Structure 1
């Protein structure tokens, strides 16, 4: 009889603890958003190196955080950028780049996270689906995550991409006399806010 009585006293306590744990887990998922994404695409050509930049694009992300608000993991992330937001110093180059990006049929460059590993030093390894020129493939992104004084999160990273792996033909200029290299480096920096 006493045993039954002690169980009835313990059960509500266990239930209360479980509810608190589940509540804490729910609070630990924090949504962030950014509409100020700085992206640079750089490459080579038979004439000179080149760079295109964009300050457009959107990124939404969900981080799991500890009690102090420090990110402990990245559970969701999606990035979208209009292909024609990329600009160089030469409009002729831009026109050929948009043609290579098939921007008329595939206006956006996107990345959809499938999984991520966030290390204690702030380095993050993302697995996801990258879509360029309407072609999608698995892609790993490496970046760093830094929490700022205002609790916003700055993310920086870069990735080398083969244009031909996305069924893109590297652009050429000046009636085909200047040809760009197949590999480009995409660098990005964004600040995410709650």
Structure 2
């Protein structure tokens, strides 16, 4: 009987560390920006809404990610210029493909960096119906019931079969390369 109680005690003591927890993306605490250039000026668009979920094991703050996904509605990308937004929605084929998706496929390595963790990741990014595998380095930090992921990645629109938008009868041209910069927070 003593052995059974000891086993129950040990399992009870370590179970909270090994049980995966479900997290939900907090849109109000998260930020995602798309940065680019044009022949006239640099530009940026900010996602005004997004959603996502993750299943993560935390062992003393180090994330072991079973799954992580997020979604940004194309029409939630906003700039200070309505005409630019309209061109963006058209270029991203928002009527046919209304969302941008990301799904983590693999964490290739994790390094502790002070209180944070640096994760080399690989995942699928879907834009305008085209899915590409992208590698990026992400910084992870957990505080209480929140875990955040921040980083940035450069991509080319043409890799996703998106023609860089133009304006004023083609006199203003958008650069092909854009930067997606993010700091997303998931809460338990």
> TM class, shorter-chain normalised?
0.7 to 0.9
CA deviations 1:26-66 (Å, max 9, x no partner) are: 84312211131311001111111111111310121122222
Which residue of 1 is the match for residue 112 of structure 2?
Answer: 120
Higher strand proportion: 2
| Paired residue total | 182
Deviations, residues 89-110 of structure 1 (Å, cap 9, x unaligned)? 1111111111111111000000
Q: Is the 8 A contact 1:35 1:56 kept in 2?
A: no
Q: Tell me if the contact between 2:33 and 2:180 (Cα under 8 Å) persists in the aligned partners.
A: yes
Give the corresponding residue for 2:32. 39
CA distance in 1, matches of 2:78, 2:149: 22
Greater Rg, structure 1 or structure 2?
Answer: 1
User: After TM superposition, where is structure 1 displaced by more than 6 Å over at least 4 residues in a row?
Assistant: none
Cα 1:71–1:40 shift into 2, 3 Å: same
TM-score by length of 2: 0.86
Find the residue that maps to 1:161 and give its secondary structure: strand
Partner of 1:64: 57
1:16-55 maps to which residues of 2 (within 5 A)? 16=7, 20=11, 24=15, 27-36=18-27, 37-55=30-48
Which structure 2 residue ranges, 5 or more long, are not aligned? none
Distance 1:134 1:60 in 2: 21
Q: Which residue does the alignment assign to 1:6?
A: none
Name the SS for the 1:120 alignment partner.
Answer: strand
